[in-house]
Amino acid sequence: MLLDCGLMFPDADMLGVDLVLPDFTYLRENADRIEGCIATHGHEDHVGALSYLLRDLSFPVYGSALTLGLARNRIEEAGLLDRTELIPVGDGERRRIGVFDCEFIPVTHSVPHGFATAFHTPQGTILHSGDFKLDLTPVDGRLTDLPRIGALSSGDGIRLLLSDSTNADDPGHSRSEREIGAVLYDLFHQHEGRRIITACFASHIHRIQQIADAAIAFGRTVATLGLSMKKNVRLAREMGLLHIPDHALRDIDELGDLEPGRVCVISTGSQGEPMSALALMASSDSRWLEITPEDTVILSSHPIPGNEFNVSKVIDGLVRLGADVVHSGISDVHATGHAKQEELKTFLSITRPEWFVPVHGEYTHMTHHARLAQTMGMAADHVLVCEDGDQLQLTDKGLARSGSVPAGYLFVDGLGDVGQGVLRDRRVLAEEGVVVVVVTVDSGSGAILTGPEVITRGWVYAPEAEDLLDEAADTVAAAVKEAFNQEATVDIESLQRVVRRAAGRFVNERTKRRPMIVPVVMEV
């Protein structure tokens, strides 16, 4: 049983990489054993890789109707809907899937209708928290089902808990999503008469609801901007999870004659994604909106680690255009979707697991979560911090490590994947540039027939460095002659080596740099 199948977005040093997938080798090798995938909720880091895995494998996907609706988009785009069956399951439903006896327990998170999953096994109950927080006043009133989890715990007990560690190093309690509604209402009040443009995650239906509520309360019409925002708003309205009356919702291209003070745009791009609707506004490249000093932009989000630079660049662009920008550093316009320390402690004290494995988050977060459990009295040898690919086995004797499986990353660029070698090359090209040396030699006499010609991008700016390039060519020519002086015949690989070494040494001695050297040697 697969539990989620997500993707990551690339770091700045993963040059040209569009997205990062988990290594599917182990799943491919065990394809005939896969019963299906449980999608705990609709975030990309939990369902985004399904459209890739389904190319190779075919299996059903179980999840709440909204989760499946969100996952469906990418699968459909990839033309893979016939490779899977999307099977909706309800809150509290218990269902047998192959040998697995699964129970779907509601949890609150930053996308509606997420699940914790209980697996009832001959080795006792295994509880996976999913991404969760303990929001006691969620916008839709759908609470994390602590009574049910408590019943599992006080019944036969929870043998093994796997729990979300994302905010394990954050003290205190996360704020309720509902509090953000009041903050937004105040902001809309303060900025009456101005055009308001907001940005948040397109899957954060409750945030979108609260923005729309504030907008409508002040007589504004809501317009979505960005493809995923438009799609998700339509999906959530169809499912009855988002309530915006028809008359208060328009397409961005239908705003036409509305006064700025009667408009609220809800846009994608809250993480500063370079080609997103908000980033295009910030660089004056949006075909829909031109930012002016009459605008207020509210970023109802918090940058995910790694996105800080992009977000601050977008904010800077907006401020430069005169906009009044409100973000999580200025006002409480965001609440996290992940439990903080006090919630994690509550969860541990309710579940009282015999064994505990922190999951989800960086290694630091999982370690913090492990320590948290120990401060609450859990024995250190009953808490296992694992890394990607680690295998665990739960038997009569307890939980034990049992080896590991391949679990690297797959870097996707365009349609195909690129390896570590390609990324290394890209880093050298990005940081040092490239020098190509082309030379043709007579393999019999060793005479140089054409070249050496030295071509570069990114080492020196060629039109301003002719002398240096000529000198480089002379140095390579001398090295080639020397090679033929020492031996009567020189094969092409050796010549390439000679050219690379001579050019590389020259470049390094003269400029202290190490660009990629590409020797192109032709023999006639």
Task: Calculate ∠ Cα 406-411-416, nearest 5°.
Answer: 110
Q: Which stretch binds Zn ion (CB under 5 A): 70-78, 87-95, 127-135, 403-411?
A: 127-135
* Nearest approach, Cβ of residue 436 and Zn ion (Å): 44
Residue 38 or 507: which CB sits closer to Zn ion? 38
Q: ω into residue 353 within 30 of 0, thus cis?
A: no
DSSP symbol at 248? G
Judged by CB under 5 A, the residue of 7, 10, 36, 43 near Zn ion is: 43
Stretch 192-211: interaction string toward Zn ion, x if CB under 5 A: --------------------
Are 17 and 54 within 8 A, CB to CB?
no
- The active-site residue out of 131, 135, 145, 164 is 164
| Residues that contact Zn ion, how many (by CB under 5 A) | 3
Of 47, 49, 1, whose CA–CA distance to 22 is shortest? 49
- Beta-strand pair 2-3/114-121: unpaired
**Residues linked to residue 383 through DSSP beta bridges, in sequence order:** 356
Residue 40 or 475: which CB sits closer to Zn ion? 40
Q: Which stretch binds Zn ion (CB under 5 A): 42-50, 179-187, 372-380, 513-521?
A: 42-50
Regarding 343 and contact with Zn ion (CB under 5 A), the answer is no
Is residue 302 part of the annotated active site? The answer reads no
Are 286 and 277 within 8 A, CB to CB?
yes
Q: Which stretch binds Zn ion (CB under 5 A): 23-31, 129-137, 220-228, 366-374?
A: 129-137
Judged by CB under 5 A, the residue of 4, 44, 103, 131 near Zn ion is: 131
Q: List the end-to-end C-alpha distance of the chain, in Å, as a whole number.
A: 61
Judged by CB under 5 A, the residue of 2, 25, 34, 45 near Zn ion is: 45
* Nearest approach, Cβ of residue 130 and Zn ion (Å): 8
* Nearest approach, Cβ of residue 132 and Zn ion (Å): 9
Residue 119 or 201: which CB sits closer to Zn ion? 201
Regarding 9 and contact with Zn ion (CB under 5 A), the answer is no
Q: Which stretch binds Zn ion (CB under 5 A): 39-47, 284-292, 317-325, 347-355?
A: 39-47
DSSP symbol at 201? -
- The active-site residue out of 46, 128, 173, 338 is 338
SS3 of 258, please?
A: coil
Task: Calculate ∠ Cα 183-189-195, nearest 5°.
Answer: 105
Interatomic CA distance for residues 306 and 321, integer angstroms = 25
Interatomic CA distance for residues 451 and 160, integer angstroms = 69
Q: Burial-class residue 305 by CB neighbours within 10 Å (0-12, 13-18, 19+).
A: exposed
Residue 45 or 354: which CB sits closer to Zn ion? 45
Residue 71 or 441: which CB sits closer to Zn ion? 71
**DSSP labels for 212-224?**
HHHHHHTTPEEEE
Residue 229 or 297: which CB sits closer to Zn ion? 229
Residue 177 or 295: which CB sits closer to Zn ion? 177
Residue 220 or 360: which CB sits closer to Zn ion? 360
Are 39 and 63 within 8 A, CB to CB?
yes
User: Could you tell me which residues come within 8 angstroms of residue 37 by beta carbon, excluding any fewer than 6 positions away?
Assistant: 1, 2, 3, 4, 5, 50, 59, 60, 61, 62
Regarding 103 and contact with Zn ion (CB under 5 A), the answer is no
Interatomic CA distance for residues 211 and 218, integer angstroms = 11
* Nearest approach, Cβ of residue 46 and Zn ion (Å): 6
Q: Which stretch binds Zn ion (CB under 5 A): 125-133, 172-180, 184-192, 234-242?
A: 125-133
User: Could you tell me which residues come within 8 angstroms of residue 246 by beta carbon, excluding any fewer than 6 positions away?
Assistant: none
Stretch 290-319: interaction string toward Zn ion, x if CB under 5 A: ------------------------------
* Nearest approach, Cβ of residue 49 and Zn ion (Å): 13
* Nearest approach, Cβ of residue 407 and Zn ion (Å): 17
Residue 131 or 135: which CB sits closer to Zn ion? 131
Q: Which stretch binds Zn ion (CB under 5 A): 116-124, 131-139, 191-199, 477-485?
A: 131-139
Is residue 43 part of the annotated active site? The answer reads no
For 396, phi and psi rounded to 5 degrees?
-55, -35
Regarding 365 and contact with Zn ion (CB under 5 A), the answer is no
Interatomic CA distance for residues 159 and 506, integer angstroms = 65
**Residues linked to residue 128 through DSSP beta bridges, in sequence order:** 117, 162
Q: Which H helix or E strand runs over 178? A: helix 177-190
Q: Which residues are catalytic?
A: 164, 338
Q: Rule CB under 5 A: which residues touch Zn ion?
A: 43, 45, 131
